[in-house]
């Protein structure tokens, strides 16, 4: 019969059982469905402070069973608290803070030693020295008064070590005694002894309050744990093992997890598979690096959303996605999915991997849901889920249409900021009908590009200049696809996005006029330049530095990068004074309009827009 009863565990007993086994032959295991260790440093510090102050810290929930005459407790709820308690008990001195030092300690040291100088600053220095010294000890028992006093002396030379020690001794003695009391303090525990199959439901309901579970952590708790299937991707297996190993590294025992068995059998649950697939896609495909900073035990939602978009018609289908996964040939599905991933990557890579994009790795100029929608649509267009052994009969024809229109839609959506909101809903709506089979009309392009131009020309810049946007970058990358050769892309040369009318010179001209700003960062004022060209001319434009003109081929710069002529920038040489703002504005805006028309023509040519 199911039932609950309470037990009181001391901090030490709880730590010993979490780490290995405590004196009464008890052990605590972490269930597979547990969430990751999600508390941040400030949350842990606040929890430890509550323990020190004797504040209520909530209860732990254990499921109890007996295995081989040993009491085994499954940690259903309280991992964050239990993990913090264990970390504190193992290294309590690391949690020592300045506010743990009574004010009278620094006051007495300052007064007894008759120190000279800023009283507030010296007392703060004393407290920092005490904290720094205590945090270096491995345990509370190891703390030596002399070492703490010596650390104070390093910051305040010529003080009496003996006098400082006489003041510190009572404080350190009290600190040790308080810690001993904390280790004996009890944590309330509720023990459940009912049906083990109910644990995920209990876990879900308990965590509906407080720090809520993400929907994917709910799936971990509610999707079946006993229904497994074999996969072949060793990299996905490694990602799953890393999740569980992150607990083992902290001396936890994971219920139902056998590392060697998982590596050999490759049998996983639906949740484990999608967890590992998401990590694998994020790690092995540079253009899918959307959650690089997540820890090994944190869920990357990408595979859940992508697989659901490939399989189901709507977002809600994700709740029971495991049913579909269990009903298909997962190995074949994964192969077909990775084909769709490669298809999309190949289509967008000329733009996303453009030479001038970035020097510090792959720069994502698009949103996650935009790319996932493209992959899902490619998968659905190529394969019927009921027979993934062959491509659809329409694929040979539709592939060419999709290759052309997908790249146009990709660029268009970035320029219009289409995926800035409603991503998860759009992920499914674009497939009905397939958005990426449709060509974008020329009138729509004109509207989008002119809208970008006009929006940026509303900027009023005179001291601060806006950074380039994703729309700017994708627009420029498309333009220069037709002027950059394959040799340019493979060369070691580096390229900058630069202002043709240099921003520092424009700031000076605006300041001379003593009036409003101008859209210095307008897309029409931007171009790619080889780094050596850009860095050498500095504040001047192409035609103003005669030394610069002697070192570069200005014709090549004009044809390949700037699309300008000398006379188009002559207005920058005029002596602008207060009251000349309207004239400056007229010259500059005419320059932007003329150059933007040239940019559009090159943009249309590059993307094959008639």
The alpha carbon torsion through 186, 188, 192, 197 (nearest 10 deg) reads: -100
In this structure, the number of other CB atoms found within 10 A of the CB of residue 293 comes to: 6
Quote the tokens at residue 114.
Answer: 């008759």
Please tell me which of 9-13, 76-80, 384-388 the model is most confident about, judged by mean pLDDT. 384-388
Give the Cα separation of 481 and 489 in Å (integer): 10
Per-residue pLDDT tens digits for 56-85: 777 777 887 777 777 788 777 777 777 888
Q: What is the pLDDT of residues 145-174, one digit of tens each?
A: 888 888 877 777 667 788 888 888 888 888
Residue 1, pLDDT above cutoff 50: no
* pLDDT higher than threshold 80 for residue 99: no
Mean pLDDT of the 441-463 span: 94
Task: Using alpha carbons, list the distances in angstroms from residue 211 to 16, 38, 276, 396, 502.
Answer: 26, 10, 24, 50, 50
Q: What angle do CA 240, 241, 242 make, to 5 degrees?
A: 90
Three-class DSSP labels, 473-510: HHHHHHHHHCCCCHHHHHCCCCEEEEECCCHHHHHHHH
Amino acid 60: pLDDT:
78
**173 three-state secondary structure:** helix
> What is the pLDDT at residue 217?
66
Structure tokens at 562: 């700037």
Q: What percent of the chain has pLDDT over 70?
A: 86
Give the residue among 10, 23, 101, 19 at the shortest CA–CA distance from 60: 10
Q: Among 235, 331, 334, which residue's Cα sits nearest to residue 276?
A: 235
DSSP-based three-state secondary structure for 254: strand
Q: State the alpha helices, DSSP H only, in 223-269.
A: 234-248, 259-265
Q: What is the pLDDT of residues 216-239, one digit of tens each?
A: 766 666 788 788 999 999 999 999
Query: Taking the alpha carbons of 326, 332, 336, 338 in that order, is the dihedral positive or negative?
Result: positive
pLDDT of residue 14: 80
> What H or E segment, with its residue span, contains residue 415?
helix 395-415
User: What confidence category does residue 123 fall into, taking pLDDT thresholds of 50, 70 and 90?
Assistant: confident
Out of 99-113, 191-205, 426-440, give the one with best mean pLDDT: 426-440
Confidence tier at 440 by pLDDT (50, 70, 90): very high
* pLDDT digit string, tens, across residues 547-595: 767 777 888 888 888 999 999 999 999 999 999 999 999 999 999 999 9
Q: Which two tokens stand for residue 325?
A: 């996964």
ω before 520 within 30° of 0 (cis)? no
Q: Give Cα 97 to chain centroid, integer Å.
A: 30
Give 304's pLDDT tier (boundaries 50, 70, 90): very high
pLDDT at residue number 170: 87
pTM (two decimals): 0.70
- Enumerate residues 6+ apart whose C-beta is below 8 A from 222: 200, 201, 204
| CA distances from residue 456 to 146, 306, 313, 460, 468 in whole angstroms, order as listed | 65, 34, 38, 9, 10
Give 424: exposed, middle or buried? Use CB within 10 Å, 0-12, 13-18, 19+: middle
In contact, 325 and 356? CB cutoff 8 Å: no
């Amino acid at each position: 019969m199911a039932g609950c009863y309470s037990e009181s565990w001391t901090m030490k007993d709880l730590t010993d059982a979490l780490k290995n086994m405590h004196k009464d032959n008890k052990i605590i295991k972490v269930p597979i469905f547990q969430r990751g260790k999600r508390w941040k440093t400030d949350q842990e510090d606040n929890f430890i402070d509550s323990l020190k102050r004797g504040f209520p810290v909530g209860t732990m929930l254990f499921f109890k069973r007996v295995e081989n005459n040993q009491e085994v407790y499954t940690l259903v709820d309280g991992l964050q608290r239990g993990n913090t308690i264990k970390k504190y008990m193992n290294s309590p001195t690391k949690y020592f803070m300045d506010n743990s030092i009574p004010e009278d300690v620094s006051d007495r040291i300052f007064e007894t030693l008759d120190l000279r100088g800023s009283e507030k600053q010296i007392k703060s220095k004393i407290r920092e020295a005490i904290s720094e010294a205590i945090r270096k000890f491995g345990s509370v028992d190891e703390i030596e008064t002399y070492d703490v006093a010596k650390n104070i002396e390093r910051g305040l030379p010529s003080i009496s070590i003996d006098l400082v020690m006489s003041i510190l001794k009572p404080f350190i003695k009290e600190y040790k005694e308080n810690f001993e009391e904390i280790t004996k303090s009890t944590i309330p525990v509720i023990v459940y002894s009912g049906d083990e199959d109910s644990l995920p439901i209990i876990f879900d309901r308990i965590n509906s309050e407080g720090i809520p579970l993400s929907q994917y952590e709910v799936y971990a708790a509610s999707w079946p744990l006993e229904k497994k299937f074999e996969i072949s991707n060793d990299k996905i297996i490694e990602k799953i093992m890393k999740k569980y190993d992150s607990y083992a590294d902290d001396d936890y025992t994971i219920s139902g997890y056998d590392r060697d068995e998982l590596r050999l059998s490759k049998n996983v649950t639906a949740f484990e598979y999608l967890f590992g697939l998401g990590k694998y896609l994020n790690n092995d495909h540079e253009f899918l690096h959307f959650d690089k900073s997540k820890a090994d035990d944190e869920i990357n939602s990408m595979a859940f959303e992508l697989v659901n978009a490939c399989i189901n018609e709507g977002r809600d289908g994700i709740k029971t996605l495991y049913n579909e996964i269990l009903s298909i040939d997962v190995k074949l599905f994964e192969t077909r999915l990775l084909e769709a991933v490669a298809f999309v990557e190949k289509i967008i890579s000329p733009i996303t991997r453009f030479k001038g994009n970035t020097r510090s790795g792959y720069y994502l100029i698009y949103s996650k849901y935009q790319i996932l929608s493209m992959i899902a649509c490619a998968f659905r267009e190529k394969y019927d889920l009921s027979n993934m052994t062959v491509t659809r009969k329409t694929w040979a024809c539709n592939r060419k249409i999709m290759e052309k229109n997908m790249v146009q839609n990709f660029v268009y959506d970035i320029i219009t900021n289409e995926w800035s909101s409603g991503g998860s809903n759009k992920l499914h709506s674009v497939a009905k009908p397939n958005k990426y089979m449709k060509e974008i009309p020329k009138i729509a392009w004109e509207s989008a590009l002119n809208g970008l131009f006009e929006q940026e020309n509303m900027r009023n810049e005179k001291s601060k200049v806006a950074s380039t946007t994703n729309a700017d970058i994708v627009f420029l990358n498309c333009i220069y696809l037709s002027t950059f050769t394959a040799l340019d892309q493979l060369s070691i040369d580096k390229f900058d996005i630069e202002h043709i009318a240099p921003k520092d010179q424009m700031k000076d001209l605006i300041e001379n006029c003593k009036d409003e700003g101008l859209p210095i960062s307008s897309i029409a004022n931007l171009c790619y330049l080889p780094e050596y060209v850009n860095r050498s001319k500095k504040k001047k434009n192409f035609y103003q530095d005669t030394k610069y003109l002697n070192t570069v081929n200005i014709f090549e710069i004009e044809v390949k990068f700037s699309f300008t002529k000398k006379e188009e920038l002559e207005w920058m040489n005029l002596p602008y004074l207060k009251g000349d703002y309207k004239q400056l504005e007229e010259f500059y805006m005419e320059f932007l309009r003329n150059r933007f028309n040239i940019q559009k023509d090159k943009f249309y040519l590059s993307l094959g827009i008639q």
